[in-house]
Amino acid sequence: MDLLNTLVDKGLRRETPTRGEALAVLATSDDDLLDVVAAAGRVRRHWFGRRVKLNYLVNLKSGLCPEDCSYCSQRLGSKADILKYTWLKPDEASKAAAAGLAGGAKRVCLVASGRGPTDRDVDRVSDTIKAIKEQNEGVEVCACLGLLSDGQAERLRAAGADAYNHNLNTSESTYGDITTTHTYADRVDTVQKAHAAGLSACSGLIAGMGESDEDLVDVVFSLRELDPDSVPVNFLIPFEGTPLAKEWHLTPQRCLRILAMVRFVCPDVEVRIAGGREVHLRTMQPLALHLANSIFLGDYLTSEGQAGRADLEMIADAGFEVEGTDQVTLPEHRAGGGCGSHGGGGVCGSAPAGEDSCAGADEEGARRADEPRPDLVAVRRRGAGTDLAPNA
């Protein structure tokens, strides 16, 4: 296919594709899907080999958020039955991080709900960063605390933070449809503050909120313009109790096309498969490793993920290797921008507690790829903020 040959050539040269080419990737047929994956996989392997970076999320403060982001289970007015707790102490957060690092994670992402941190919150997180770094040599720490005020990014950098995450989530033209308590421009400003402070910027998107192909291309091109070192691609987890609970627009095939489009537009950037991969990619997750070079290990902020050991086995079975702390994530020409990358112990293949992993196999086999799967949305009940061991 001429389109794919063109996109591979451009990706190897770090040349931006046209909007039309990016839209064409999203419009490819299922018959062409493996060709699309193979082409984007060539670009991924050129810049990142067969390495997969593991990241681990620690939710420092869960729920109780005054913002109204429609996709979020922690939003103002959310009726989702999630864990709610205030700030973890530095030693509690460090202990939670240690589980992910023991499982092979290279980066810890410290996340707190809210509009943005107060100066006291920055002090809290700074103490947590120092505690994690003192106990774990070579670990990268990314903070994700919401909108930053002047000087806060510099303070986090001084405390030892390597990166800062703040996602654009969707296109500027549709941003007001999902959030009214802050603006798209506010988000762009925070990413720019992180850049200016010398932090490695991490910014991505959420797919599956009812957006058009044009919206997806718009946000990815906006991200390319901001030039973050890492781009997390989230797939909406439709939590019951949130405004987007009935939004089930994604199939595994569409998720793969979205990841391929992101790789073509951002060829030399760490592309991370983030929240929702288990819900929407399902058995196609290994194919996504040919497109993205980074994943989150284990659970997410308020939902359960695949068992950590299953993540590791999936990576090995697909012929990839876990990136070590002695390896630099980004290609050499990008490495000067920052460290260059960026979110209860289960057993491999384990079902959620109390469920029979074989139950309903005949019924599940009859499901269509585009059928809603609320059964796959499991609220996190272990790890940070609980007395149960984390999944790592």
pLDDT classification of 294: cutoffs 50, 70, 90:
very high
Per-residue model confidence as pLDDT tens digits over 68-77: 999 988 888 8
Confidence at residue 1, expressed as pLDDT on a 0 to 100 scale: 79
| Residue 57 · residue 296 · CB < 8 Å | yes
Give, for 244, the enclosing helix (H) or strand (E).
Answer: none
pLDDT classification of 377: cutoffs 50, 70, 90:
confident
Confidence at residue 378, expressed as pLDDT on a 0 to 100 scale: 74
- Cα separation, 73 vs 171, whole angstroms: 21
pLDDT classification of 336: cutoffs 50, 70, 90:
low
- Number of alpha carbons in the 13 Å side-chain half-sphere of residue 31: 1
Question: Residue 314, Cβ neighbours under 10 Å: how many?
Answer: 18
Q: Select from 329, 308, 296, 302 the least CA-distant residue to 56.
A: 296
Confidence at residue 391, expressed as pLDDT on a 0 to 100 scale: 76
Beta-ladder partners of 272: 232, 294
Is residue 69 a known part of a binding site?
Answer: yes
**Length of the chain, in residues:** 392
Instruction: Estimate the share of the chain in helix, then strand, then coil, as percent rounded to the nearest 5.
Output: 40, 15, 45
Per-residue model confidence as pLDDT tens digits over 108-157: 999 999 999 999 999 999 999 999 999 998 899 999 999 999 999 999 99
Is residue 266 a known part of a binding site?
Answer: no
- Cα separation, 192 vs 201, whole angstroms: 8
Res 346 pLDDT > 70: no
- Cα separation, 296 vs 54, whole angstroms: 6
Is residue 358 a known part of a binding site?
Answer: no
Res 379 pLDDT > 80: no
Confidence at residue 167, expressed as pLDDT on a 0 to 100 scale: 97
Place of tokens 């997806």: 216
Per-residue model confidence as pLDDT tens digits over 220-247: 999 999 999 999 999 999 998 899 999 9
Per-residue model confidence as pLDDT tens digits over 1-54: 799 999 999 999 999 999 999 999 999 999 999 999 999 999 999 999 999 999
> Among all residues, which ones are annotated catalytic?
65, 69, 72, 109, 142, 202, 272
Q: How is 36-74 classified by DSSP, letter by letter?
A: HHHHHHHHHHHHHTTEEEEEEEEEEEBS------TT-TT
What DSSP state is assigned to residue 306?
S
- Cα separation, 31 vs 229, whole angstroms: 33
Phi and psi angles of residue 303, each rounded to the nearest 5 degrees, phi first: -125, 155
Q: 348 by DSSP, 3-state: which?
A: coil
Q: Give percent above pLDDT 90 in the chain.
A: 76
| Residue 384 · residue 92 · CB < 8 Å | yes
Is residue 272 a known part of a binding site?
Answer: yes
CA–chain centroid gap for 197, Å, is 22
Confidence at residue 367, expressed as pLDDT on a 0 to 100 scale: 63
Beta-ladder partners of 54: 295
Res 385 pLDDT > 80: no
Rounded to a whole number of angstroms, the distance between the first and last alpha carbons of the chain is: 41
- Number of alpha carbons in the 13 Å side-chain half-sphere of residue 133: 16
366: tokens are 């009859």
Q: Give percent above pLDDT 70 in the chain.
A: 91
The domain made up of 2-349 is a member of CATH 3.20.20.70: yes
Confidence at residue 357, expressed as pLDDT on a 0 to 100 scale: 33
Is residue 109 a known part of a binding site?
Answer: yes
Res 104 pLDDT > 70: yes
Phi and psi angles of residue 185, each rounded to the nearest 5 degrees, phi first: -60, -35
- Cα separation, 166 vs 211, whole angstroms: 20
Supply the Cα-derived Rg of the chain in whole angstroms.
Answer: 19
Query: Would the CA dihedral through 32, 218, 112, 163 be positive or negative?
Result: positive
Confidence at residue 83, expressed as pLDDT on a 0 to 100 scale: 82
Question: Residue 51, Cβ neighbours under 10 Å: how many?
Answer: 17
| Torsion on CA atoms 78, 82, 88, 93, rounded to nearest 10 | -130
Is residue 339 a known part of a binding site?
Answer: no
Phi and psi angles of residue 48, each rounded to the nearest 5 degrees, phi first: -130, 5
Query: Would the CA dihedral through 275, 278, 280, 286 be positive or negative?
Result: positive
Res 359 pLDDT > 90: no
Res 366 pLDDT > 60: no
Q: 111 by DSSP, 3-state: which?
A: strand
Mean pLDDT for all residues in the chain: 89
